[in-house]
């Protein structure tokens, strides 16, 4: 079980400015620009991240009409884990047609700033960029019928202007692969 995150629910989201797999730099939206943003730390080699991936893709498609922004970040040390290299990330995005940018955190600064611990580790921000949910997508990586229920629940609450009933859960997955 992962330890509690340092990115507290209710606090402003740390900054995020990273290139995607084609080199385009992405940042968080400006306050008030979109009603909600999902930021998920993920990677290419972790079975938990892979098991949850399709559910996150479905969620991104489902909430796009609501104006929800979705950003995926990979902070793993690509030298020791070549399957998480920028090239491998790009190959995957192109082959699978990801509906959201896959950002490359080469310095791992973003993971440090956000206190991301594992892949996947998801955050939901409200329109004013305050963290309203952080944790796992749902309760069981092995059960696709869970359909990222915790994340959907949090997004629905934020879009309705309410507080998520379950603002934080324990993120479950592979540890971020820090550089030595």
Q: State yes or no: residue 144 binds another protein (CB under 8 A).
A: yes
Binding residue for another protein, selected from 34, 51, 86, 115, defined by CB under 8 A? 51
Minimum Å gap between C-beta 177 and another protein is 8
Which of the ranges 17-25, 61-69, 108-116, 137-145 carries the binding residues for another protein, by CB under 8 A? Answer: 137-145
Q: Could you tell me the two tokens for 125?
A: 């921000």
Q: How far is CA 91 from the centre of its chain?
A: 19
Whether residue 163 contacts residue 157, with contact meaning beta carbons closer than 8 Å, is answered with yes
Binding residue for another protein, selected from 26, 45, 92, 112, defined by CB under 8 A? 45
Whether residue 112 contacts residue 147, with contact meaning beta carbons closer than 8 Å, is answered with no
Q: State yes or no: residue 61 binds another protein (CB under 8 A).
A: no
Burial per residue of 89-99, b for 16 or more beta-carbon CB atoms within 10 angstroms, e otherwise: bbebbeeeebe
- Residues in touch with another protein (CB under 8 A): 1-2, 45-48, 50-51, 80-82, 118, 141-142, 144, 172-175, 177
């Amino acid at each position: 079980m992962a330890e509690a995150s340092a990115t507290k629910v209710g606090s402003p989201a740390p900054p995020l400015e990273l290139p995607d797999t084609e080199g385009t730099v992405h940042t968080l939206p400006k306050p008030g620009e979109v009603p909600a943003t999902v930021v998920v730390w993920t990677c290419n080699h972790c079975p938990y991240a892979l098991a949850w991936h399709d559910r996150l893709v479905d969620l991104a498609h489902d909430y796009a009409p609501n104006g929800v922004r979705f950003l995926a970040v990979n902070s793993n040390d690509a030298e020791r884990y070549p399957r998480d290299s920028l090239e491998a990330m790009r190959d995957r995005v192109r082959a699978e047609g990801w509906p959201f940018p896959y950002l490359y955190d080469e310095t791992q600064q973003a993971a440090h700033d956000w206190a991301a611990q594992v892949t996947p580790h998801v955050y939901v921000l409200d329109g004013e960029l305050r963290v309203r949910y952080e944790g796992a997508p749902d309760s069981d990586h092995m059960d696709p019928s869970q359909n990222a229920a915790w994340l959907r629940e949090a997004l629905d609450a934020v879009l309705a202007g309410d507080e998520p009933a379950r603002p934080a859960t324990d993120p479950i997955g592979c540890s971020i692969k820090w550089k030595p």
